[in-house]
Amino acid sequence: MSILVSGSVALDHIMVFPDQFANHILPEKVHALNVSFNITSLKTHFGGVAANIAYHLRLLGGEPLILATVGSDFAPYASWLDEQGIRRDHIRVYDDVRTPQGFVTTDLDDCQIWAFYEGAMARSHEARVEDVDDSLELAIVSSNGKQAMIEHARALKARGVPTYIDPSHGLPLLGRDELVELIEGSAGYFVNDYEWALTLERTGLAEGDLEKRCEAVIITFGPKGSEVRSGGERVAVPPVTAAKVVDPTGCGDAFRAGFLYGVSTGRSLDAAARMGNLYGSLQVGVEGTQSLRLGLEDFRAHYSDAFGTRL
C-alpha cells in the first residue's frame, strides 16, 4: 500500500550568509527593515516538502505517492524522481508556468530567511485526491496552496485514510476555522515549537482543546528533540546529536518521513518520533534536501547506536 504525500515539489536555491542575521538587523528598526546580505555560496537542489518527504521514505523502502503540481521546467526533476524509484503519475505538469521555487538564506546560527515563488502550486488543488485509485495506508497533507491543503484533507478523511497535517510554510495562509478543520479528526498534527505557538495564537484555543481534536500532536524542537502528545499524555523524545551540521534545510521533512515510516511499519508513536529525530540528525549532515544516501540497514545501525536498542 502507498503513502500519499501531498504538497510542494520545488527547486531550492540555497544561500549561505557567513555571519549571524542578528548582527545586521536592528530590532528597533524592523518597521523600516532594509538589509542586504552578502552571500558566499549559492546552490540549487531538488526540493519541495512533498518531494523531500517522499525521497526519505523511499530510502527506507517506503512506497510514497506524490500528489502535486509542477511547471514547464520539470523535466530534469522528473528524471531524478524516476532514478529514485518515486512515482510521479499524480504530479500534474502545467506548461504555462514554472515549477515552484524556494529561495533560502541560512546564517551561521542556522537561522533561515525564506522566499517562495508558488508558480504551478497556485493550481495544486487541481491535482485531486479523488483521482488517486491506489489503496492508501496513510497520507500527509503538507505545505501547499491553501485550497489544496483544505480539499485534500477533507477528501482523505472522508475516504477513511489516516491523515497527518503538516502546514509548515503554509500555516500563515490559513484562517482560524480553516486551521481547526485541518486539525480536526486528523491522525496527527506536525509542527515545530514556533508553529505550535502560532497555531495556538491563530486558533485562540487552549493546548488541551487542540490536542483533543486529533489523535496526536507532534512538536519538534530542533536539536532538543521532539514531543508526542496523544491521549492526554506527553512523551518527550530525546534528540540525536548530529555528527556534523552542514545544512539544516530539509531536516523537518526528514523527521516527518522517519515518523511516517515508523507508523506505517507498526511502531509506537514515540518510537516513530525517535526515528524522526534520527533522520533529522542525519539530514543536517549533508547539503541539499535530497542528498542523503543510506538504506534501511544503515538506518537501523544508526538507530541502535543512538538509542541502544534494535529497530
Can you give the pLDDT at residue 289? 92
What angle (nearest 5°) sits at the alpha carbon of residue 139, between those of residues 136 and 145? 130
Residue 17 maps to a domain: no
* 222 and 242 Cβ atoms separated by less than 8 Å: no
Give the model confidence (pLDDT) of 39-77 as tens digits.
988 889 999 999 999 999 999 999 999 999 999 999 999
96 carries an active-site annotation? no
Residue 30 maps to a domain: no
Can you give the pLDDT at residue 167? 95
The DSSP line for 100-140 is PEEEEEE-TT--EEEEEE-GGGGGGGGS-GGG--S-EEEEE
* 137 and 1 Cβ atoms separated by less than 8 Å: yes
Can you give the pLDDT at residue 1? 80
Residue 21 maps to a domain: no
Can you give the pLDDT at residue 135? 95
- 253, 270, 298, 305: the active-site residue: 253
Secondary structure class of 80 (helix, strand, coil): helix
- Look at the chain and report how many structural domains it folds into: 1
- Tens-digit pLDDT string for the chain (311 aa): 899 999 999 998 989 899 999 898 888 877 888 888 999 888 899 999 999 999 999 999 999 999 999 999 999 999 999 999 999 999 999 999 999 998 989 888 878 888 889 999 999 999 999 999 999 999 999 999 999 999 999 999 999 999 999 999 899 999 999 999 999 999 999 999 999 999 999 999 999 999 999 999 999 999 999 999 999 999 999 999 999 998 888 999 999 999 999 999 999 999 999 999 999 999 999 988 999 999 999 999 999 999 999 98
Roughly how many angstroms between the first and final C-alpha of the chain, as a whole number? 21
Residue 143 maps to a domain: yes
- For the whole model, what pTM was predicted? 0.91
Can you give the pLDDT at residue 300? 97
* Domain limits for position 181: 2-10+51-99+121-307
Tell me, what CATH number does 277's domain have?
3.40.1190.20
